[in-house]
Amino acid sequence: MKSIIKQKFSVSYQYDIHFTSGLFTLENRLLSRFFAERLDGPVPKLLVAVDEGVARCHPTLVDQIRDYLNPEPAVQLVSDILVVPGGEAIKNHREHVDRIIEAVDRYGIDRHSYIMAIGGGAVLDAIGYATAVAHRGIRHLRVPTTVLSQNDSGMGVKNGINYRGKKNFVGTFSPPVAVFNDNRFLLTLDDRAWASGISEAVKVALIKDAAFFDWIEAHAGSLRRRDGEVMDELIFRCAELHLQHIAGADPFEFGSSRPLDFGHWSAHKLEQLSGFEVLHGEAVAIGIALDTVYSAIVGLLPPQDAQRVLSVLQALELPIFHPLLGGAAADHPLLAGLEEFREHLGGRLTIMLLSAIGRGVEVHELEAENVLRAAAALQEGVHLVN
C-alpha cells in the first residue's frame, strides 16, 4: 500500500503602500486609478468602515467618500458607510466584528468585493479580521489614520481582536490588497497619539538601522513640534523597514522569532493592566526602555547606548515607566506578562534585546531578577551613566 503523498505549494503576495495627501479630494485620482486598473470582470462592490474618532474629527469625510466614489465606474460603493468604535473598544467586543460580517451578508459582499477600513490600528485590526474570515477572505483595503498605523500596523500582515482582555488572542495572518497612507489624517491627532506612534519607528531603528536612529535623535525636536514633512519622512522610512522585514523573514511567524516585537512583551501586559488607558505606542516606548535597560544590565549593550535610547524617548516626550509596572517580586506584573507572552508566542520563548544601537539580538530567557532591576531603575529614574 502506498502510504504518503507529499504536498507543497507557496502563495505569493503583492501589495502597494501609497503615500498621498487628501485621498478623497476629487482632484486626487489615486483611488480612481486603483479601481480602474484592477477592474477585471463585473464591477466589484466596496464596503467602507470608518473609525468613529476619525469621523468625529473629519465631519465631512463620509460625504467626501460618497462624492468621490459614487461616480466611479470601476467600483460600486455600498451606500451604507459603517461608522465603528475607535481604539481598543472595537477589539474588546466581538459584536463589532459580527456587525461587519452581517453587512457582508446583507449587502452581498463577495470574495471579489472590497472592504475598506479607515482608522487607527485598532480599527484596521478588527475590520481586517472580519474581512479575513467572512467568505474566508474578502479583498481588504487599509487607510491608516494614525502615525502608528501608517508606519507599522497598516502595512503588516496581521489582524486580530482581544479575548478576555488578552491582546490579539484571536486573529489571522492576511495581507491587504493595498494601503493608502494619507498624511492629512494626522493633523487631527492629539499630541499623545502623534507622539506614541513614533515609538514603533524608534523600535525598528534600534533593531535594524543605526542611521535611522541617529536621524530620529537629530529630528526629535521637529517631531515633537509636529513638523509634517519630518513626520512624512519618518513614516516612509519606518514603513519601508517594516515591509523589508516582513518580506525577508517569516511573514506568517511560523518560527518563534518576532524581532518586530522588540519592547512588546511588557507593552501588551501594561496595556491590559491599564484597561487600555495607556496607548499601544506609549506602552511600546516603556517596553523599549525596559528591554534596553535590561540589555545594559546583563552586559549586552554599553550603558552609554542605553542612556542615549532613554534620552531620545524622553526628547520625544514618550514615557519610559508606568507605576503599574511596579510591585512586589512575588507576584510582579512583568513576570506574569512574560509568561503570557511565552504562551502567546508558543514554542521556544524568543525575545529581542539590543547589542548595539541598530543591532538586535535574540535571547531565549529573561532573568526575572534583572527584569525587576531594570523596572526599578526606570521607576527610580536612575541614570545609567554619570
- Smallest distance, ligand NAD to C-beta of residue 88, A: 6
Q: Where are the beta strands (DSSP E) in the chain?
A: 16-20, 45-51, 76-77, 82-84, 114-119, 139-144, 161-163, 166-170, 178-182, 351-356, 359-363
- Smallest distance, ligand NAD to C-beta of residue 131, A: 13
- Smallest distance, ligand NAD to C-beta of residue 56, A: 7
Nearer to ligand NAD among residue 76 and residue 272 (C-beta): 272
| Cβ proximity of 44 and 75 under 8 Å | yes
Nearer to ligand NAD among residue 121 and residue 263 (C-beta): 121
- Taking CA atoms, 373 is separated from 183, 326, 377, in Å, by 41, 11, 6
Distance of alpha carbon 161 from alpha carbon 240, whole angstroms: 25
Nearer to ligand NAD among residue 44 and residue 121 (C-beta): 121
Nearer to ligand NAD among residue 283 and residue 377 (C-beta): 283
Residue 105: name the closest of 135, 71, 146 by CA.
135
- Taking CA atoms, 239 is separated from 153, 268, 282, 283, in Å, by 9, 21, 19, 20
C-alpha cell belonging to residue 242: 517594516
Nearer to ligand NAD among residue 122 and residue 234 (C-beta): 122
C-alpha cell belonging to residue 314: 524622553
- Smallest distance, ligand NAD to C-beta of residue 255, A: 17
- Taking CA atoms, 313 is separated from 104, 197, 199, 202, 209, in Å, by 43, 12, 8, 8, 16
- Smallest distance, ligand NAD to C-beta of residue 144, A: 7
Grid cell 482632484 in the structure block, residue: 27
- Smallest distance, ligand NAD to C-beta of residue 171, A: 8
Contact set with ligand NAD (CB under 6 A): 51-54, 57, 86-88, 91, 119-123, 125, 145-146, 148-149, 152-153, 156, 158-159, 167, 185, 188-189, 193, 197, 279-281
83, β-bridge pairs: 50
Residue 114: name the closest of 144, 151, 74 by CA.
74
Nearer to ligand NAD among residue 50 and residue 325 (C-beta): 50
What 3-state DSSP class applies to 214?
A: helix
- Smallest distance, ligand NAD to C-beta of residue 71, A: 26
- Smallest distance, ligand NAD to C-beta of residue 354, A: 20
Nearer to ligand NAD among residue 65 and residue 189 (C-beta): 189
Nearer to ligand NAD among residue 113 and residue 146 (C-beta): 146
127 CB-contact burial (10 Å; exposed 0-12 / middle 13-18 / buried 19+): buried
| Cβ proximity of 162 and 195 under 8 Å | no
* DSSP letter assigned to residue 43: P
- Smallest distance, ligand NAD to C-beta of residue 151, A: 10
219 Cα distance to chain centroid: 22
Nearer to ligand NAD among residue 158 and residue 308 (C-beta): 158
Distance of alpha carbon 333 from alpha carbon 34, whole angstroms: 47
